[in-house]
Amino acid sequence: MATRHEVRVRRAYDEPSPEDGTRVLVDRIWPRGVSKAKAHLDEWLKAVAPSAALRKSYGHDPARFEDFSRRYRAELAEPERAAALQHLRDLADEGNLTLITATRQADISEAAVLASLLNA
């Protein structure tokens, strides 16, 4: 059985790091003002992103993060999202994985929820 590497979370606006390994954008919407060349992404995995309804109801309000996290984890059980989550697990088994998000507070984003699941 392969050893899973630590999964990190970084903002799309941060400079890439050699330690990032595979860089995967996990937002449904492309980061404003970031060119594809500047993003240095290996993949854009829209299928793992939360639904538009969940994202809008959350609004990145820190007081709603616990509820968002619970509801998002439930969404990740849906077949398409579950397959995308498994793909992230496979990437983490292969080497360093960095989940990229455009949110201002990456620690209360879908990327943070995914990282906690993948690092468990």
Domain count across the chain: 1
pLDDT for the residue numbered 72: 97
pLDDT for the residue numbered 57: 94
Domain extent at residue 88: 7-119
Q: Is residue 43 part of a domain?
A: yes
Task: Give tens-digit pLDDT for 75-114.
Answer: 999 999 999 999 999 999 999 999 999 999 999 999 999 9
Q: Is the pLDDT of residue 25 over 60?
A: yes
pLDDT for the residue numbered 3: 61
Q: Is the pLDDT of residue 47 over 60?
A: yes
pLDDT for the residue numbered 6: 86
Q: Is residue 1 part of a domain?
A: no
Q: What is the Cα Rg of the chain in Å?
A: 13
Residue in this structure with the two tokens 């968002």, named with its chain if needed: 68
10 Å CB burial of residue 35 (0-12, 13-18, 19+) is exposed
Q: How many CB atoms lie within 10 A of CB 25?
A: 24
Q: How many CB atoms lie within 10 A of CB 13?
A: 15
Q: Is residue 89 part of a domain?
A: yes
Q: Is residue 109 part of a domain?
A: yes
Establish how many alpha carbons lie within 13 A of residue 4's alpha carbon, considering only the half-sphere containing its beta carbon: 17
Q: Is the pTM of this model over 0.85?
A: yes
Q: Is residue 93 part of a domain?
A: yes
Average predicted confidence (pLDDT) for the chain: 94
Q: Is residue 84 part of a domain?
A: yes
Q: Is residue 51 part of a domain?
A: yes
Q: Is residue 63 part of a domain?
A: yes
Token output for 14: 């941060």
